Structure 1
């Protein structure tokens, strides 16, 4: 089972990466997520530049389930290989998130997510 507490995200230093960065905080020992799976997660998202939280399942008090195919590319690329019980940090550049500035309110921004994988399937 995951740590069950809302993660804290350290303020990053230096320029935002231009490629997807995947860092396991805790390696799980359960089923492994594969591309196209439906996953149940808890997550926290912050903006790289400001550290400002823009979304959190923790804030709603419940996990969320969705098919990976319906998510931003950074999640589609960053969650497969993760195992249930794990906590992973993804630093996602704009082209793998919400695209260039102007469309989505997060457009043009590098995003940091900490994701706890609760279930696969």
Structure 2
């Protein structure tokens, strides 16, 4: 099984290493709550090998994206189950599968505030020193 990211990274996971696939819906809250559907590809020990999402856009509805996400695992012959939990935020799923959700994805607001503080505290003073009058 091969995979590719939107930015061009790629990799390979041998089909024999895939134990099962869990479908999860992850809620990202802010000013607007957004729900993303993911397929978590797990090995035989339950560790996440890969997190896959299907983007819904102008030509793909959310329901169609979920259907595609479920059906793409049929050639592997592995069980595809729905993961349901009372806690469906990325940081909650990160506690169970830390390899599937990077820290910045699990804590987007803290990451954004940290990036802004770093920019204002480090980059702006350097730019001011270099180009300031």
TM-score range, shorter chain: under 0.3
TM-score for both structures, normalised by structure 2 = 0.24
Q: Of Structure 1 and Structure 2, which has the larger fraction of its residues in strand?
A: 1
* Structure of greater relative contact order (alpha carbons < 8 Å, 6+ residues apart): 1
Structure with greater helix percent: 2
User: Whose Rg is larger?
Assistant: 2
